[in-house]
Structure 1
Amino acid sequence: MRRVLLIGSGEVGAKHVEALNRTDGMDLVGVADPSPVVSPPAGVPLFARWESALDSLAPDVVVVATPPGTALVAARAAARGGAVVLVEKPVTLDPSDLATAPEDERIFVAFQPHFAPGIAGLLDQAPAVRQAEVMLVCRRDRAYYRTWRTRYATAGGVLHQQAIHGLALALRLLPSSSVSSCTAEIHRERRWAESEDRITAAVAFDNGACLTVDARVDSVDQPRRHEVVLHLDDGQQVHVRGRNLEAGLGDPLSAPGDLALRQAMYRALPTGDTGPRHPSLFPLAQLRRTLEVIDHAYRTARNASEAGTAA
């Protein structure tokens, strides 16, 4: 039985509590949050400071579900203490924060859709991909943009908060190379927060590969989806489908639910420093490239008016 500490008991933390309590081999032994939105289950102690929880519990696994900035500090401290760490995206908004640190080898980013059917095999095979398309259509109401999500400086934008699952997967499969050019356009209509309602981007890389993104969170008339299309060098296309990639390469009608995907993610966490890692586990170090591409898109983006002309 692996002893698990959860740092952060908000909206996302509550999902981890439910999933951890229903996963064999995982024992939630503590929750750390100075102002929990959701109270811990009966019998699970609550700590106001995650530092105290780490010292007191010496957990085997730490799940970090806090806003960017705090997440990275807590995750690295837990890893230095010997725990295997699973941290919620986007972890940080600054790619330079992810300069190599020894403890990062024990930290993985929580992308449960990467455990969808067929994704592990796809990552293991690493087909030659020349172009990737990331498409996101979802709906966020005013209540979502509260506290730390209100400002770009503390939460990032649509690419950090919603589209990062697909972006991280696409960039892991595209051959690594520096960005050669980027054109992006930002749309803000509701202005409920500093984050945008929609962003489109076309990113070209020095090796000839390219990535296109169309991500929107203001749609009421389109089916919700978060999908990735991969164009292979041999002309074939690979479609990763679902409301949030959860169908993977399989049938959307039989896609696993969020609980099953989270349980698969927990079970994949390594128990030691040696041995093969599950292909779908997303190492923290690989997040840096994703954040660099996201940062490039936002730095070069132009603002568009509601009519579609440059503001």
Structure 2
Amino acid sequence: MKRILVLGGGLIGARHLQAVAAHPACELVGLVDPNPDCTCDPAVRRFADLSEVSQTVDGVIIATPTALHAAQGVEAAKRGWHMLIEKPVAGDLAGAQALRDAVSAAGVGSLVGHHRRYHLTIRRLREMIAQGLVGEVVTVSLIWAMRKPDAYFEGNWRTAGGSPVMINLVHDIDILRHVIGEIADVAALRGRDLRKSGRIESGAVALGFENGATGTIAFADTTPSPWGFEAGTGENPNIGATGQDMMWITGTKGSISFPSLTRWSGASDWSQAASPGREAIVEDGKAPLMRQLEHFIEVMEGAKPLIDVADATRTLAVALEIDQQLARKAA
């Protein structure tokens, strides 16, 4: 049994609590959250601060606001706790690097919560690209667009920030790195401030990959749409599922649309239409968050993490560069 502590009782923290409580190989130590009005299960043991935790802990899941990740991760490393840190790994590169050093010095395992890597469709997509089923990747286009409710930004840490780049697109950036390759260049354009809040709400991003491929991301948190990872895959119970594709990859031998995994076989010239075929994925009934938890257990036992602090820092660097470009281009 792994004794696991959860930090943060917000939307994602509540899902982690449920996953830990449901896993037969885990024992939930409790929840660290200073908010007495947290809506989590009242039966869960509560701590207002990490300093109050004297129980034995094998691993900690850090699901607090991003600005707290680095400091809490460093404290967890000093206490010898393995850690699963929600994305993004830290609020800035200095914090991420300090956390990386602390994890290394303590010799504890680290895993970062880019849980989309645990989707079976993402696993298969990565295999298809690696196997050369579309030849060399030439372009990738991605859309993330939804209308977040106004209450999402009220009375919490998102009031002053809440950029969809750091909350949402950081996931998509990580998937692009995971599937296509490292990102070398970015250029970003900012959209209109429809809520008059001063926050980044929408925009367009151009990407250059180290392998020569190029890509685009169009994003908005002000518009209802069927396109986005959560809507397309139905992964988030708080977001309506549409099953619509939201990413399109082209290569020298064909193309793939995701999440349907429709593969379009290329013809030798444009007079012949490309023909479609779909990959069959056998689901195992497990949510990606549960697969991630199972992998965290393996990491605590010495397995190589699918994405550790160092790897996640590269995703963070790309997201920060995009966010900083957009902040300089207020519309």
In 2, the alpha carbon distance for the partners of 1:39 and 1:202 equals 40
Provide the identity percentage: 22
Q: Which residue of 1 aligns with 2:158?
A: 149
Distance 1:52-1:236 versus aligned 2 partners, 3 A rule? farther
- Per the TM alignment, residue 20 of structure 1 is displaced from its structure 2 partner at its CA by 1.7
Q: Which residue of 2 aligns with 1:245?
A: none
Per-residue CA distance 1:26-68 (angstroms, 9 max, x = gap) = 1111111111443554553211112332xx1231121111001
Q: Which residue of 2 aligns with 1:298?
A: 323
Distance 1:178-1:50 versus aligned 2 partners, 3 A rule? same
Per-residue CA distance 1:236-271 (angstroms, 9 max, x = gap) = 3333328xxxxxx9679x9788x7221111011124
The residue type equivalent to 2:194 in the other structure is E
Per-residue CA distance 1:255-290 (angstroms, 9 max, x = gap) = 788x7221111011124464444xxx3222122222
The residue type equivalent to 1:142 in the other structure is D
Distance 1:250-1:78 versus aligned 2 partners, 3 A rule? farther
Is the aligned partner of 1:201 residue 2:205?
A: yes
Q: Which residue of 1 aligns with 2:166?
A: 160
The residue type equivalent to 1:175 in the other structure is G
In 2, the alpha carbon distance for the partners of 1:197 and 1:39 equals 28
In 2, the alpha carbon distance for the partners of 1:286 and 1:250 equals 29
Matches within 5 A, 1:1-311: 1-38=1-38, 41=41, 43-53=43-53, 56-99=54-97, 100-103=100-103, 106-123=109-126, 127=130, 129-146=137-154, 147-152=156-161, 155=162, 157-176=163-182, 178-179=184-185, 182-191=187-196, 193-205=197-209, 208-220=212-224, 222-226=225-229, 227-232=246-251, 234-241=252-259, 260-269=287-296, 270-272=298-300, 274-277=302-305, 281-301=306-326, 303=329, 311=331
**TM-score when scaled to structure 2?**
0.74
The size of the alignment, in residue pairs, is 285
- Per the TM alignment, residue 205 of structure 1 is displaced from its structure 2 partner at its CA by 4.6
In 1, the alpha carbon distance for the partners of 2:148 and 2:192 equals 15
* Contact 1:10/1:38, CA 8 A, preserved across alignment: yes
In 1, the alpha carbon distance for the partners of 2:113 and 2:157 equals 19
In 1, the alpha carbon distance for the partners of 2:183 and 2:86 equals 26
* Contact 2:77/2:102, CA 8 A, preserved across alignment: no
In 1, the alpha carbon distance for the partners of 2:303 and 2:188 equals 42
In 1, the alpha carbon distance for the partners of 2:129 and 2:308 equals 16
In 2, the alpha carbon distance for the partners of 1:133 and 1:51 equals 46
Distance 1:76-1:132 versus aligned 2 partners, 3 A rule? farther
In 2, the alpha carbon distance for the partners of 1:123 and 1:81 equals 36
- Per the TM alignment, residue 202 of structure 1 is displaced from its structure 2 partner at its CA by 0.8
The residue type equivalent to 1:185 in the other structure is R
Per-residue CA distance 1:87-115 (angstroms, 9 max, x = gap) = 11223232333224150672222122221
In 2, the alpha carbon distance for the partners of 1:241 and 1:64 equals 28
Distance 1:237-1:101 versus aligned 2 partners, 3 A rule? farther
Q: Secondary structure at the match of 2:51?
A: helix
In 2, the alpha carbon distance for the partners of 1:240 and 1:123 equals 11
- Per the TM alignment, residue 78 of structure 1 is displaced from its structure 2 partner at its CA by 1.6
CA RMSD of aligned residues (A): 3.0
In 2, the alpha carbon distance for the partners of 1:2 and 1:138 equals 37
* Contact 1:34/1:49, CA 8 A, preserved across alignment: yes
- Per the TM alignment, residue 172 of structure 1 is displaced from its structure 2 partner at its CA by 2.6
Q: Which residue of 2 aligns with 1:307?
A: none
**TM-score when scaled to structure 1?**
0.79
Q: Secondary structure at the match of 1:200?
A: strand
